[in-house]
Chains A and B, each alone.
Chain A
Amino acid sequence: MNINATLLAQTIMFALFVWFCMKFVWTPIVGALDARKKQIADGLAEAERAKHDLELAAKRSAEILREAKEKAGDIVANSEKRASEIVEEAKTQAKVEGGRIVAGAKAEIDQEVFRAKEHLRTQVSAIALEGASKILGREIDAKAHSDLLDKLVTEI
């Protein structure tokens, strides 16, 4: 338990240990701790920013959704209008077409009637001529009486 040169040795050893600890232990470890601290702070800031972005995105998506709904509604309304228009158009067209067909048929019928009348008239005139010749008992000279016949035909 004597005080001796160990005292000096221990002091020097202490100084060396402190120096080593400061230089090769404390600095790198504290550096890493600081780096982690920064990393965590950055991460938190990043998360905050991401949260903010997410909020914005949600707002924007709601906006877009609303717009899309509006647009879809417009489109549906337009298409409905257009459909009823088309139906309406088709109806009028059909009516016109029907009218046209009816008119055509009517004209054809008139023509047919007229033709039949004409036919009938020539036949009647022939019959009348035949009858008249029979009544008169002789041949009527068709040539001599053609103007008389024509008059008759027109009268009939």
Chain B
Amino acid sequence: MSSEAQTSAEYIHHHLQNLTFGHLSNGTWGVAHSAEEAKEMGFWALNLDTFIMSFLLGAIFLIIFRRVAVNIVSGTPSGLQNFCEWAIEFVDSSVRGSFTSKNNMVAPMALTIFFWVLAMNLMDLIPIDYVPHLMGALGVPFFKVVPSTDPNATFGMAIGVFLLVLYYSVKMKGFGGFVGELTLQPFGKWGLPVNLLLEGVNLIAKPISLALRLFGNMYAGEMIFILIALMGGAWAGFSAGNATLYGSQIILSLGWAIFHILIVTLQAFIFMTLTIVYMDMAHQEHH
């Protein structure tokens, strides 16, 4: 727990609050120092922690791969190049497995999604108090280190994918074809309103499920870490009960972290695979 004066609820709220930069109610631009202030900023505010962390992680991923790409040899690969080649072949085989049309953008996008999401998710394994405390010492009121627990990040990516789905749907089938797909099936032209409702929900569900699945998993994982951390945080003098709680926190957070490695990787993989599948559906003609 960050300080003795905090209650459990305050602790949890503190951990779940993004560092939001926006227009403060007193008329100046600055960082919100409470959840209420952040809320008052409305839409035109930026979650600095999400933005900085996701940018850094994405940049690290791209810099590593870019360095390999610059120094690449077609002869015997070594070390990092080996890893990058394995990653690329893994993504490429996933794309080949699910994506049947020809589009040079899908595979690099899948690679970016997988490693970016993986890196963002992996931040969850940093002990949850380290970064907020460090940032608190530096005078920063909040810092959520896991960008994928911010719906802005997951929805941001999902909207990017959704826009591409729309773009390729229209490009591949023509505007008429796309509208026809939304309105003329499954019940033919006399069931048009029902068709539109069903297909519209179907379409909108794609980005929402994509974003919420990742957000939900990571948010829940983070939440469990916070709750486990509360056990040791209940420390109030040495007693058998407190010692047990403290020990339980260590063991439980270790166990949850190990289990979370699976979730972290799985969610990155699911996001990538679903993106490939949605892109494939956008390229397919329905009959």
Footprint of B on A, CB under 8 Å?
Answer: 1-11, 13-15, 17-18, 20-22, 24-26, 28-30, 32-33, 35-36, 39
**Contact: B72 with A6, CB < 8 Å?**
no
> Which single residue of chain A is at the shortest CB-CB distance from B156?
A10
Q: Is B45 an interface residue (CB 8 A)?
A: yes
B15 to chain A, nearest CB (A): 11
**Contact: A4 with B156, CB < 8 Å?**
no
> Which single residue of chain A is at the shortest CB-CB distance from B55?
A13
Stretch at the interface among B60-68, B128-136, B229-237, B252-260: B60-68
> Which single residue of chain B is at the shortest CB-CB distance from A38?
B74
For the complex, would chain A's binding face be called helix, strand, loop or mixed by DSSP majority?
A: helix
**Contact: B46 with A9, CB < 8 Å?**
yes
B281 to chain A, nearest CB (A): 19
Nearest first, the 10 A-B pairs at minimum CB distance are A10-B156, A6-B152, A22-B108, A26-B108, A35-B74, A28-B69, A14-B160, A6-B47, A32-B72, A25-B65
A23 to chain B, nearest CB (A): 8
> Contacts A22-B104, A25-B111, A32-B73; is A6 near B68 (CB within 8 Å)?
no
Which residues of B in the span 40-67 have a Cβ within 8 Å of any Cβ on A?
41-47, 50-51, 54-55, 58, 62, 65-66
**Contact: B47 with A18, CB < 8 Å?**
no
Q: Is B99 an interface residue (CB 8 A)?
A: no
Question: Residues of A contacting B116 with CB < 8 Å?
Answer: 14, 17
> Contacts A4-B41, A33-B85, A36-B75; is A18 near B112 (CB within 8 Å)?
yes
Question: Residues of A contacting B92 with CB < 8 Å?
Answer: 30
A2-B41, A6-B153, A30-B88 are known contacts; what are 4 more A-B pairs with Cβ within 8 Å? A1-B17, A9-B156, A10-B157, A29-B84
Question: Residues of A contacting B44 with CB < 8 Å?
Answer: 4-5
Footprint of A on B, CB under 8 Å?
Answer: 16-18, 20, 22, 38-39, 41-47, 50-51, 54-55, 58, 62, 65-66, 68-70, 72-75, 84-85, 88-89, 92, 104-105, 107-109, 111-112, 116, 150-153, 155-157, 159-160, 163
B14 to chain A, nearest CB (A): 13
Option from B74, B108, B160 in Cβ contact (under 8 Å) with A32: B74
Report the separation of the CA atoms of residues A30 and B41 in the bound assembly, to the nearest whole angstrom. Answer: 45
**Contact: A7 with B62, CB < 8 Å?**
no
Report the separation of the CA atoms of residues A9 and B156 in the bound assembly, to the nearest whole angstrom. Answer: 8
> Which single residue of chain B is at the shortest CB-CB distance from A10?
B156
Report the separation of the CA atoms of residues A11 and B45 in the bound assembly, to the nearest whole angstrom. Answer: 15
> Which single residue of chain A is at the shortest CB-CB distance from B32?
A2
The 5 sampled A-B contact pairs (Cβ below 8 Å) are: A4-B45, A9-B152, A14-B157, A20-B62, A29-B72
**Contact: B111 with A26, CB < 8 Å?**
yes
**Contact: B160 with A4, CB < 8 Å?**
no
Question: Residues of A contacting B17 with CB < 8 Å?
Answer: 1
> Which single residue of chain A is at the shortest CB-CB distance from B116?
A17
Question: Residues of A contacting B20 with CB < 8 Å?
Answer: 2, 4
Question: Residues of B contacting A25 with CB < 8 Å?
Answer: 62, 65-66, 69, 108, 111
**Contact: A39 with B74, CB < 8 Å?**
yes
> Contacts A6-B153, A26-B108; is A21 near B46 (CB within 8 Å)?
no
**Contact: A1 with B150, CB < 8 Å?**
yes
A55 to chain B, nearest CB (A): 30
Question: Residues of B contacting A39 with CB < 8 Å?
Answer: 74-75
Question: Residues of A contacting B111 with CB < 8 Å?
Answer: 21, 25-26
**Contact: A4 with B74, CB < 8 Å?**
no
> Contacts A28-B69, A29-B65; is A1 near B88 (CB within 8 Å)?
no
Question: Residues of B contacting A29 with CB < 8 Å?
Answer: 65, 68-69, 72, 84-85, 88
**Contact: B45 with A21, CB < 8 Å?**
no
**Contact: A6 with B51, CB < 8 Å?**
yes
Report the separation of the CA atoms of residues A22 and B103 in the bound assembly, to the nearest whole angstrom. Answer: 11
A30 to chain B, nearest CB (A): 7
> Which single residue of chain B is at the shortest CB-CB distance from A4?
B45
Report the separation of the CA atoms of residues A6 and B153 in the bound assembly, to the nearest whole angstrom. Answer: 7
B287 to chain A, nearest CB (A): 31
